[in-house]
Amino acid sequence: MCGIFGVFSFSEENISKKIYYGLYALQHRGQEGAGIVVSNGKELFSHKGLGLVPEVFNEGNIQSLVGHVGIGHVRYSTTGSSVIENCQPFIVSSSLGNLAIAHNGDILNSHILRESLEKQGHIFTSSTDSEVIAHLLVKELLKTEDIVQSIINVSKNIIGAYSLIILYNNTLIGVRDPNGFKPLCIGRDENDNYYISSETCGIDVVNGELIRDVHPGEMILINKDGFNSYKFSDSLKTSSPISSTTCMFEYVYFARPDSLIDGISVYNVRRNIGKILAKEEPCDAHIVSPVPDSGVTSAIGYSEELNIPYYEALIKNRYVGRTFILPSQEERDLAVRLKLNPVKSIIKDKKVVLIDDSIVRGTTSRRIVDMIKRAGAKEVHLRIGSPKIISPCYYGIDMPTKEELIANSKSVDEIKDYIHADSLGYLSIEGLLKGIGRKSLCLACVSGNYPTDILCKFKNTDKYPNCNCGRL
């Protein structure tokens, strides 16, 4: 995950507040840290820290960031631990100027590239793959002295998922990898401010209008000379982002429902998914309820299709931050109760069909089913708005190893028993494609077919010391 946001203004001298609000709108994409870098044409100013956007920034530090062009990042860690050194944007200086980079995605061969850069004398300040991209770019810039050519050269050497926003000597640059795994879009407002954002909700919040999505394999440059687009991959032949392998989970779970991804409304997708799930896996229940928040829109679709009343049987506490690492079962149950609490008056003696977006390990689903049963439900049925997750993600979504994915080793019936549900049904892959309305998506975690080479960067590392995920 991670959220990235950039602004170039032709009319305003200070755009740092716009980046702040853009990051605020993208907060759901990462809550571990946030950062902003701006340029006034002569100097760079930056501030970053651990925590949520309003915890990292205040009136004082925002006012100290003065510039007409800048970029920002909200962090969710997949590579590198949760320490301030890993917060982005990263700044790398060279004789040709300053380069700042904000990255969403995961680079599969970053460990190999990093080793080689370190041997050449590059010094890293973080443990992230994003800094590897920054160093590669500076290395190429020193050779070519041309940012467009440097991005083209770097893209040939990196494998994986990368949506990037780069600030290079007063030019704002947006880059989307040839597969288009992560979303990236461009907008503009009536004051001639240009925006690049992970999602359209970031452009909405600053009162901008969506221009279009950045195409897979495309880079966008915005500077005093205007707006330019360059293709760096053949995937642009179709000139349509719909033909790329965008992460299907952006639609199912990650993105905000008020965003459009590659021109498709996330809200409409989730409602469609609910309707298709109702046709594929109907249930004779008294009430339909979502597991909040990502199950909400699909539960509405499911309820509409089967004419079963929609209720909120679980209430989410929106103010729960990070819980401690909980050693005992009792404490882990408490953490779930802290986040979700059942409405007993709605549930008592009812057959409840719960709609959730996915099952990963199965432990959270089991706690939720148990909670609804303890609240007096007669039966609890679970319907899932995505297919079974059977393989890990290597493209920037924090997932456990293959062995920890419950659907990798258990049948639907076995999972149903494990989570204590009265019945369980998943959306099919065909149903998912139909619900999203595109033929081409990344489906690797539900199909096992990866759209790129896989070089498992986690194998036998600190993060997954016993990784045995079955890939290389």
Binding site for ligand SF4 (CB under 6 A): 181, 247-249, 393, 395, 397, 442-445
List, in order, residues 6 or more apart from 257 with CB less than 8 Å away: 266, 267, 270, 296, 297
Nearer to ligand SF4, 442 or 456 (CB): 442
Nearer to ligand SF4, 181 or 311 (CB): 181
Sheet of 218-223, strands arranged across: 90-94, 97-104, 163-168, 171-176, 218-223, 226-231
Q: Phi/psi of residue 61, each to 5°? A: -75, -25
Nearer to ligand SF4, 62 or 429 (CB): 429
CB 459, min distance to ligand SF4, A: 17
Under 8 Å between Cβ of 310 and 287? yes
Place of tokens 């008020």: 258
Nearer to ligand SF4, 162 or 395 (CB): 395
- The amino acid sitting at 320 is V
CB 214, min distance to ligand SF4, A: 17
- CA dist 357 and 217 (Å) reads 29
Under 8 Å between Cβ of 287 and 309? yes
- Helix (H) / strand (E) containing 226: strand 226-231
CB 441, min distance to ligand SF4, A: 7
CB 404, min distance to ligand SF4, A: 15
Q: What count of other Cβ atoms lies within 10 Å of the Cβ of residue 459?
A: 17
Nearer to ligand SF4, 393 or 406 (CB): 393
Nearer to ligand SF4, 92 or 407 (CB): 407
Q: Is the backbone peptide bond immediately before 462 cis, with ω within 30 degrees of 0?
A: no
CB 385, min distance to ligand SF4, A: 14
- CA dist 27 and 353 (Å) reads 30
Nearer to ligand SF4, 2 or 38 (CB): 2
Q: What is each CA distance from 31 to 35, 82, 162, 323, 446, in whole angstroms?
A: 11, 10, 19, 13, 26
Burial of 127 per CB tally in 10 Å (0-12, 13-18, 19+): middle
- Helix (H) / strand (E) containing 93: strand 90-94
CB 357, min distance to ligand SF4, A: 12
- CA dist 88 and 71 (Å) reads 10
CB 63, min distance to ligand SF4, A: 38
φ/ψ bin of 456: left (φ > 0), alpha (ψ from -120 to 50), beta (otherwise)? beta
- The set of catalytic residues is 2
